[in-house]
């Protein structure tokens, strides 16, 4: 491995930290995104004489339209907040991907007089 990669990563982090991006005219006029607010619905569970209160128990109902719409709203809020870091995310992802061996194989297993293993190789070139 060459030594330039840690410097690249450090310089990318320093650039994002030291020189924050100025908002564009459209972003400056737009209000910052507001997080979605989950409704509170009291649910009491009694275990061994103790009462456990959970105001967000309704979020366990996976697959219901209300829960799915709330989760979509949370995901959209997170995407909006993380938008300024997209370039850094791509740089970090590329850096990590360049350090991973993208081939996978299982440990050999002896069956009878032969050894068997499975191997998956990445088809792309580096």
Per-residue pLDDT of 11-50, as tens digits, reads: 555 555 555 556 666 655 677 889 999 999 999 999 999 9
Regarding predicted confidence, which is higher, 104 or 47? Answer: 47
Q: Does residue 115 have a pLDDT over 70?
A: yes
Q: Does residue 102 have a pLDDT over 70?
A: yes
Q: Where are the domains of the chain?
A: 4-21+33-100
Q: Residues 19, 98: contact at Cβ < 8 Å?
A: no
Looking at residue 124, its pLDDT comes to 61
Regarding predicted confidence, which is higher, 120 or 108? Answer: 108
Q: Is 50 helix (H, G, I), strand (E, B) or coil?
A: strand
Looking at residue 12, its pLDDT comes to 57
Provide the mean pLDDT of the chain.
Answer: 82
Comparing CA positions, the residue from 29, 76, 39, 82 lying closest to residue 61 is 39
């Amino acid at each position: 491995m060459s030594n330039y990669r840690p410097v690249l990563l450090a310089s990318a982090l320093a650039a994002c930290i030291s020189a924050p991006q100025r908002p564009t005219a459209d972003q400056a006029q737009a209000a910052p995104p507001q997080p979605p607010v989950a409704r509170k619905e009291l649910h009491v569970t009694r275990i061994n004489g103790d009462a456990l209160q959970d105001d967000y128990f309704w979020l366990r109902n996976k697959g219901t339209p209300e829960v799915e719409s709330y989760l979509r709203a949370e995901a959209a809020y997170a995407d909006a907040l993380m938008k300024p870091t997209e370039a850094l995310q791509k740089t970090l992802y590329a850096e990590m991907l360049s350090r991973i061996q993208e081939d996978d194989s299982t440990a050999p297993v002896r069956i009878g007089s032969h050894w068997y293993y499975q191997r998956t190789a990445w088809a792309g070139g580096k």
